[in-house]
Structure 1
């Protein structure tokens, strides 16, 4: 049976969602982050050398990276659903958003998180003002402008139909869910009504709600 190795509050939530949309049988192995470091437990290294989630095992196959996993699930179990027809403009758009989610949308969000952690980290009192100044400069000079650029772009793309590809829900919407949920939690997406509407729409899907029940608490769905 296909198994998803699921880490709480992580990208693997969207893989659970994809599995529920497809309606296939699967098993969930749950892992919890270290409450101090927020890193995945070492036990995940027994599944994949990088010790990260999501990872799926399906017979002899072990596959990491959420985009690759979603594409595999669509090809192996989707029966032609949730993916546009190959060779069409919609299919090219689908492949674009599948790569954009992690290649362009997530990096500035991760930099935002790093800057916040630097600013709030415990350190000697004489270093703290310098660290906070560096973090503030990074955010104001690079991170925040990049976030405004990217999420303004995403918000504009959603104006046409409310979905990322064509006029209907697709795997690209599942892949894009995590950066938009993270952006809503960290601030930049809240200014864009189309992003908020997109998140409300996906959070209301029955398969999304079932995935939350299978995966446990997920802060980004708040």
Structure 2
């Protein structure tokens, strides 16, 4: 059966389109546009899931929300492809970065984004908040210094999950200055044919 992706422009759901392209699973896209004033998702998404957020997918009568949960579901749907590697240490890294992307890295980046929209006070708060962001980016740079991909030698769903926060970081600051491994990783990601196909399928994606 074909998976339906309820896709919001300029959002985390771009990763789901990319994951589907990498796995070669059939899907259709239902696009939603943000409110131009509030930048929030439209109320139509609440008809799909009570939270009214994206990404959400529908598959075989199931409605599944949350990016990480969807990635894990798609890995299972594809018989384990792009999932945890066989080597135990690689598997542990896979699980770590699968959850680290939204659980640890994205919160400070999102907080900084919110602060950037607060007149006057926002600039002062951002400056004080930046060291916390730098700790995370330096950590990621160090992790990529010894590996091609986040889990190890092979590309996995963990790389898909890590794309959004790192693209967001780069879009709003010179995050790759002095961090060549993050820059190289992003270049590899953007060069992947499945990534390019997902951009065409998804439409506007400001973080890229």
Name the counterpart of 1:105. Answer: 105
Name the counterpart of 1:125. Answer: none
Question: Structure 2: 5+ residue runs without aligned partners?
Answer: none
C-alpha displacement of 1:87: 7.3
Check conservation: 1:105, 1:150, Cα contact below 8 A: yes
The alignment partner of 1:9 has SS state of coil
Name the counterpart of 1:54. Answer: 55
Once residues 204 and 16 of structure 2 are traced to their aligned partners in structure 1, the CA distance between those partners, rounded to angstroms, is 15
Check conservation: 2:84, 2:95, Cα contact below 8 A: no
The alignment partner of 2:92 has SS state of helix
CA change 1:184–1:111 in 2 (3 A) is same
Aligned residue pairs: how many?
206
Give the alignment partner of residue 199 of structure 2, picking from 212, 216, 220.
212
**TM-score of the superposed pair, with normalisation by structure 1:** 0.89
Give the alignment partner of residue 146 of structure 1, picking from 132, 137, 140.
132
Once residues 96 and 210 of structure 1 are traced to their aligned partners in structure 2, the CA distance between those partners, rounded to angstroms, is 27
Check conservation: 2:72, 2:83, Cα contact below 8 A: no
Q: Give the structure with the larger helix fraction.
A: 1
Once residues 101 and 118 of structure 2 are traced to their aligned partners in structure 1, the CA distance between those partners, rounded to angstroms, is 25
- 1:71-220 counterparts in 2 under 5 A? 71-77=72-78, 79-85=79-85, 88-119=88-119, 132=120, 134-141=121-128, 143-191=129-177, 192-220=179-207
Once residues 216 and 206 of structure 1 are traced to their aligned partners in structure 2, the CA distance between those partners, rounded to angstroms, is 16
The alignment partner of 1:189 has SS state of coil
Once residues 188 and 85 of structure 2 are traced to their aligned partners in structure 1, the CA distance between those partners, rounded to angstroms, is 24
Once residues 73 and 154 of structure 1 are traced to their aligned partners in structure 2, the CA distance between those partners, rounded to angstroms, is 25
C-alpha displacement of 1:85: 3.9
Name the counterpart of 2:69. Answer: 68
Once residues 72 and 61 of structure 2 are traced to their aligned partners in structure 1, the CA distance between those partners, rounded to angstroms, is 18
Once residues 104 and 174 of structure 2 are traced to their aligned partners in structure 1, the CA distance between those partners, rounded to angstroms, is 15
C-alpha displacement of 1:140: 2.4
C-alpha displacement of 1:190: 2.5
Check conservation: 1:148, 1:188, Cα contact below 8 A: no
Structure 1 residues 118-165: Cα deviation after superposition (integer angstroms, max 9, x where no partner)? 12xxxxxxxxxxxx1x32332222x20111100010011111123101
Name the counterpart of 1:123. Answer: none
Q: Which structure is larger by alpha-carbon Rg, 1 or 2? A: 1
Structural RMSD (CA): 1.3
**TM-score of the superposed pair, with normalisation by structure 2:** 0.95
